[in-house]
Amino acid sequence: MTEDGKSAERVTFSRGYDVCIMAIDGTWRRDCQLNAISDADATLTVEGSIQGLNLKEFFLLLSSTGLAYRRCELVRVNGTEMDIRFLRGKHAKKRPSASSKDKEMMN
């Protein structure tokens, strides 16, 4: 469930989409397949070994031009399958809590 009470929509593909993962500093790049995606996370299949790659934080490139991308972190690895979580930007606006909304209405 998401914060607003709606269930997150997850799209699972019958055939994976070709995408890439790339280090934040650009030191490595690996082709992979996007198998499923939601607003918060995704499942990827990576051919070959991912040992030695720093997957604490990286980009998922959704287009061949590199213009569409999401910052990610690794959640789980099972053989060639990876689960990743999308990271919010450093300057993302936080939603005001219910108590702060109430305070604004009272002023």
Q: Give pTM, 2 decimals.
A: 0.69
Inter-residue contact 59 to 21 (CB < 8 Å): yes
State yes or no: pLDDT of 32 exceeds 80. yes
39 secondary structure, DSSP code: S
CA neighbor of 43 nearest in space, from 3, 79, 6, 92: 79
Q: How high is the pLDDT of residue 106?
A: 45
State yes or no: pLDDT of 9 exceeds 50. yes
Q: Tell me the one-letter amino acid at 30.
A: R
Q: What's the token pair of residue 21? A: 């993962």
Number of H helices, E strands in the chain: 1, 6
State yes or no: pLDDT of 65 exceeds 90. no
Q: How high is the pLDDT of residue 73?
A: 94
Counting Cα atoms < 13 Å in the Cβ hemisphere of 49 gives: 3
SS3 assignment, position 104: helix
Top-confidence residue, 71 or 98: 71
Q: What's the token pair of residue 31? A: 């082709």
Inter-residue contact 24 to 57 (CB < 8 Å): yes
